[in-house]
Amino acid sequence: MTATQDALDALNPAQRHAVTVRGGPLLILAGPGSGKTRVIAHRIAYLVRTLAVPPWRILAVTFTNKAAREMRERVERLLEEDARAITLGTFHGICARMLRRDGQQIGIPSGFVIYDRDDQLSLVRRIEKELHVDSKRFAPGAVLSAISAAKNHRLDAAGYAGAVGSYFEEVVARVFEQYDHALTESAAVDFDDLLGRTLELFQRAPAVCDRYAERYLHLLIDEFQDTNVVQYELARALTSKHGNITAVGDPDQSIYSWRAADVRNLAHFRSDFPGTEVVLLEQNYRSSARILRVADAVIRRAEGRPEKQLWTANADGERVVEHSARSGEEEAMYIASEVQRLTRGGRAPADCAVMYRTNAQSRALEEAFLYLGIPYRLVGGTRFYDRREVRDLLAYLRLVQNEMDSVAFQRIVNVPPRGIGDRTLEHVLAVAAETGLAPLAVAAKLARGDAALPALPALRADSRLALDGFVRLVDSLRERRERFSVADLLDEILRDVGYRQYLQDSDEAHATTRWENVEELLEVARQYQDLEGSRSLASFLEEVALVADVDDPAVATPNAVTLTTLHAAKGLEFPVVFMPGLEEGLLPHVRSLDDPQQLEEERRIAYVGMTRAKERLYLLHAGSRFYQGMQRRSIRSRFLRDVPSAELTASGTGAATAGAVPLSARERRAAIAGRQVRDVPSEPAFAAGERVEHAQFGRGVVVSCTLVPGDQQVTVAFEAAGVRKLLLSFAPLKAERRPEPTRAAVPDDHEPPEDEAGAG
């Protein structure tokens, strides 16, 4: 028996059918936990090994770099060396490579930079200031979202301006025009442009489109329900020569309409690709039977969904718990206490996840987890690549790569401080706007006192000298760009600008942690050592720009509970899942209540959350909740009312049996605010130099411990987390456990009593 046949025999009948379709349009409707990644990987292997399709003629598309890495690992296990020739990546990453190669045909330079959301927001803020737009009334984020939505519906600035119907849209149109102009002037594109400009390339240069369509004989797309209009048209263009497309998706998991994802693409697929073969993957390998029955009770009421029934051979397992709390704070304490009970019973914290509808819900959860000393990781907190020191250094690298990059220039022209103030920067930008020159070029001319520049108020001599120093620094780094790898170039930047000392001077309390982030960036950069000079830099910057939130490797905390929104939980799975806030106005969200389509998406969001659970599922709601600035009464979600009562069990023993009774809201707030319920000691609980332990930050040494009103503030230098200032009532801080003293040892009389060391 061949290895290929062995691999096929390991699949269930539906999976085997999906893998062995020989060609043409194939639509695989894959329920959660049904093994779709496995099916795609085996289908690629089948095309290569059985149908003799050359690996370089296969294009596989995923939606995150993380998913792409997992897919490539699976394919490599099946195809070994042949897997390297397959083109596999995200839509954005693949389009970026196409634009690097062929974008010049529509005016995009090969060295373009990619602006992420932070860069885009900086640019919109600058444009609003130039246009005298009130950024409080017209929030940059809202304006940017409108521009993004327009691009995803294939509207350019002129097309958008021709269809305005409100004053807000009129303001967006004015910003849109300047925004696109600024991108062009900076030789930059945003994420939407990576897709839209590639489609434009295919339409304006048919020969380029034909070349890619002829090269890739098979196109496979994962998470097809998350495609937008532009991605769908790209798929049609790439299969225009042969029609060999495999689309894998699940309409029940379409939850990204706010990102312009269009679930209707699954319905359009059958009509746009005649002769489509449809395969249903309905066997779930992830969840217990009880969890699936509860999730099915919610999703089966969705309008217009395909007829499919998720099932599992897994056992019934634990009952699904419904817990009703009096308040959002009490709900959070119940979750933390239940996690504590489960971990005492042998569960690891990393087995547990809390999934909520809005980011605001994390506040009470974080407080409860900190209070009980339970380690957690917050998905959606400050991402590694969004941290100040990381963005500073990336801006240096971007300006070295592309001297036209105005956003990078603005960020680092005075970082570290070199005497270039806001007025000087405004002067440079005003000249750049009037002349069409890049800010770096303007800075060079101003430093030389170029008489040909517009007649603006003259700069002071010290400002010209500071600009000259910055220009010389960038020019020197640009000269070294061809000779140095990106890691070596980063070392040069750190040395030339004295960045470590700058961190120490500007943020002494967090300098150690920030420098650790710099070292982590250097470690990432070293992965590009095998590329030469500018190729190393260009590849590094492109990969960093294309990293998504869920791909960020630096946010993880070992063995910690995951706190995440339901949207960010897509693609994840955990043995234990808590879903708080199952209330009308929260899940479903208040914005969806008057919109049937949005209400259906809220139903799918609930379904996605439920199907992340493998063994235990907790569905929670509160009688009242502090939300949008006030305490509000809550009503149990309609999605819970859809579940037969026989499938749910009310909680009542969890936290109590563990001896960890949830605090009342008053007690919790008092403790967290520092107004401790018990008496505060009159003497500091810790002395400088004392070794301590924290449940989340690990081991450290006390720098100082001072009494503050109603509390004690402890400054600790942690081995892994740097210097932190903690309130003792809020921090689970304890004296480090020492070995029992031997006869030769002298007991340490200074160690604080257990009740003081563990005051929070």
Residues taking part in catalysis: 36-37, 222-223, 253, 612
Residues ≥6 apart with Cβ < 8 Å to 530: none
Under a CB-based contact definition with an 8 Å cutoff, are residues 211 and 98 in contact? no
CA angle (277 as vertex; 272, 279 as ends), nearest 5: 125
Q: How far apart are CA 376 and CA 639, in angstroms?
A: 28
DSSP symbols for 39-107: HHHHHHHHHHHTS---GGGEEEEESSHHHHHHHHHHHHHHHGGGGGGSEEEEHHHHHHHHHHHHGGGGT
Position of tokens 């706190």? 563
Q: How far apart are CA 252 and CA 254, in angstroms?
A: 6
Q: In Å, how far are 299, 337, 570, 605, 667 from 574, measured between CA atoms?
A: 20, 18, 12, 17, 31
Q: Is the dihedral of CA 325, 331, 337, 342 positive or negative?
A: positive
Q: How far apart are CA 610 and CA 618, in angstroms?
A: 9
Nearest to 57, CA basis, from 211, 228, 204 = 211
Nearest to 235, CA basis, from 378, 94, 393 = 94
- List residues bridging with 283 in a β-sheet: 311
Q: How far apart are CA 176 and CA 147, in angstroms?
A: 6
Under a CB-based contact definition with an 8 Å cutoff, are residues 538 and 111 in contact? yes
Under a CB-based contact definition with an 8 Å cutoff, are residues 42 and 201 in contact? no
What are the tokens at 429? Answer: 């930008």
- List residues bridging with 320 in a β-sheet: 648
Residues ≥6 apart with Cβ < 8 Å to 324: 620, 621, 622, 623, 636, 650
Position of tokens 């990336």? 394
CA angle (571 as vertex; 565, 577 as ends), nearest 5: 55
Q: How far apart are CA 97 and CA 102, in angstroms?
A: 9
Residues ≥6 apart with Cβ < 8 Å to 537: 397, 400, 401, 481, 486, 489
Under a CB-based contact definition with an 8 Å cutoff, are residues 582 and 410 in contact? no
Position of tokens 């290569």? 48
What is the maximal distance between C-alpha atoms in the chain?
A: 88
Secondary structure class of 318 (helix, strand, coil) = coil
Burial of 524 (0-12, 13-18, 19+ CB in 10 A): buried
Q: How far apart are CA 493 and CA 487, in angstroms?
A: 10
